[in-house]
Amino acid sequence: MRTPIIAGNWKMYKTLGEARELVAGLLAGLGEGAACEVVVCPPYTALASVGEQVANTPISLGAQDVFFEAQGAFTGAIAPQMLCDVGCRYVIVGHSERRQYFGDTDATVNRKLHAALANGLRPIMCVGESKPQRDAGEAEAIVTAQVRAGLADVTAAQMAEVVIAYEPIWAIGTGDTATSADAQAMHAAIRATLVEIFGAETAQTVRIQYGGSVKPDNVDELMAQPDIDGALVGGAALKADSFLRIIQFQ
């Protein structure tokens, strides 16, 4: 049994006050807890404050990125230990926006993933194809190659800490969700790749999230798919009521 995991990626939204207000709304709505694991990933500036707010609650804290070096002259970068220090349990690596605008490659994503694991952080590794790649029939080859490269030199034991997020780039922030059948097909292909790398037993335990315009009105159908184990949510995670509805998928 894989415990579903729903994570909110707030991207470059929310001042400190807004972040705290959103978390207060989520905590009030969650009450005793949730049937799935819940993660929020605020911007760096709100991590410490939100970290205090969610300590000992059903919400875990995640960051949106991390650098792979431990410390040094890397202006603007944040080290894994700094994320642990403010209470992070998770960190997103390889989001398509980091790949597109900030130069992340499969190789740097792999280094970030190893740095996260070495520091006790759980990486949420994003993979996904562009629209031209999908239209050319290359989606599965692109995504499974990203999975292999991102997970290079990871052990089967370490996979207990890794979450994979399949996020077709054309579905992020566009309102254009993959059909649940297309998403399931890609998740199955990712799991088949994990079987080849780590064996069937490990592959069955790895959680694979879907991301790309997940909303209250499509989450139930997506989560009903056998290989979809959660969601990475952007826009709909910025308001308490819509994120709560997604967490409470049927």
Q: How far apart are the first and last CA of the chain?
A: 17
Query: Which residue in the set 233, 240, 246, 247 belongs to the binding site for ligand PEP (CB under 6 A)?
Result: 233
Query: Is 173 an interacting residue with respect to ligand PEP (CB under 6 A)?
Result: yes
Smaller CB separation from ligand PEP, 183 or 206: 183
Smaller CB separation from ligand PEP, 50 or 233: 233
Query: Is 167 an interacting residue with respect to ligand PEP (CB under 6 A)?
Result: yes
- Give the footprint of ligand PEP on residues 207-226 (CB under 6 A): 211-214
Q: How far apart are CA 71 and CA 142, in angstroms?
A: 33
What lies within 8 Å, CB to CB, of 12 at 6+ separation is: 43
**Could you tell me the smallest distance in angstroms from the CB atom of residue 210 to ligand PEP?**
9
Q: How far apart are CA 223 and CA 226, in angstroms?
A: 8
Smaller CB separation from ligand PEP, 93 or 203: 93
**Could you tell me the smallest distance in angstroms from the CB atom of residue 92 to ligand PEP?**
8
Which residue is at the shortest CB distance from ligand PEP? 234
Smaller CB separation from ligand PEP, 47 or 172: 172
Cα dihedral: 200, 206, 207, 211 (round 10): -80
The question of whether 167 is a catalytic residue gets the answer yes
Select from 41, 16, 165, 151 the least CA-distant residue to 91: 41
Burial string for 92-121 (b: 16+ CB within 10 Å, else e) reads bbbbbbbbeeeebebebbbbbbbbbbebeb
Smaller CB separation from ligand PEP, 51 or 212: 212
Query: How many of the chain's residues bind ligand PEP (CB under 6 A)?
Result: 14
- Taking CB under 6 A as the binding criterion, the range among 131-139, 146-154, 192-200, 234-242 that sits at the site for ligand PEP is 234-242
**Could you tell me the smallest distance in angstroms from the CB atom of residue 119 to ligand PEP?**
23
Which entry of 37, 95, 97, 114 is annotated as an active-site residue? 95
Query: Which residue in the set 90, 104, 235, 245 belongs to the binding site for ligand PEP (CB under 6 A)?
Result: 235
Half-sphere exposure of 201 (CA within 13 A, CB side): 2
Q: What is the DSSP track for 137-182?
A: T-HHHHHHHHHHHHTTT--TGGGGG-EEEE--GGGTTTS-PPPHHH
- Give the footprint of ligand PEP on residues 41-80 (CB under 6 A): none
Please identify which residue in the block is written with the tokens 């562009």.
130
Active site residues: 95, 167
Binding positions for ligand PEP, rule: CB under 6 A: 9, 11, 167, 172-173, 211-214, 232-236
